[in-house]
């Protein structure tokens, strides 16, 4: 997580509980892009999140759990994520 200018920390977090419309994914590969580098220099992120920013928003993963309302993604699917495009339903 990014805590300030050039201040990154690796931390342990608890696994979040998924809601009926959520998909839980296990990250298999992650890249660092230019916006991550800008965040490093500023100590802040352009992503609007309630927690500290987590660099590495370009990643691919495997679906490990799905909510009860999820129908188009299945456990075991390999997915790529674009977290900068939001659903418009949450922050």
Question: Given this model, what pLDDT does residue 44 score?
Answer: 57
Helix (H, G, I), strand (E, B), or coil: what is residue 19?
coil
What ranges in 1-91 are assigned the alpha helix state H?
Answer: 34-42
pLDDT digits (tens, 9 = 90+) for 22-69: 999 988 887 777 766 666 566 555 555 555 666 667 788 899 999 999
Residue 85 pLDDT > 70: no
Q: Model confidence over 3-30: pLDDT tens digits?
A: 777 777 788 878 888 999 999 998 888 7
Task: Count the neighbouring beta carbons within 10 Å of the beta carbon of residue 87.
Answer: 6
Q: What is the pLDDT of residue 53?
A: 61
The reported pLDDT for the residue numbered 11 is 80
Give the whole-angstrom CA distance, residue 72 versus residue 60: 17
Domain boundaries, the chain: 2-13+20-81
Higher-pLDDT residue of 80, 65? 65
Give the pLDDT confidence score for residue 40 in this predicted structure.
54
**Residue 45 and residue 59 in contact, taking contact as beta carbons nearer than 8 Å:** no
Question: Is the CATH number of domain 2-13+20-81 2.30.42.10?
Answer: no
């Amino acid at each position: 997580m990014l805590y300030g200018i050039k201040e990154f920390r690796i931390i342990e977090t608890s696994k979040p509980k998924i809601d009926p419309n959520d998909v839980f994914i296990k990250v298999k590969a992650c890249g660092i892009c230019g916006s991550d580098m800008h965040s490093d220099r500023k100590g802040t992120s352009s992503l609007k999140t309630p927690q500290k920013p987590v660099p590495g928003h370009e990643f691919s993963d495997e679906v490990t759990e799905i909510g009860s309302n999820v129908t188009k993604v299945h456990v075991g699917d390999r997915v790529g994520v674009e977290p900068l495009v939001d659903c418009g339903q949450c922050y």
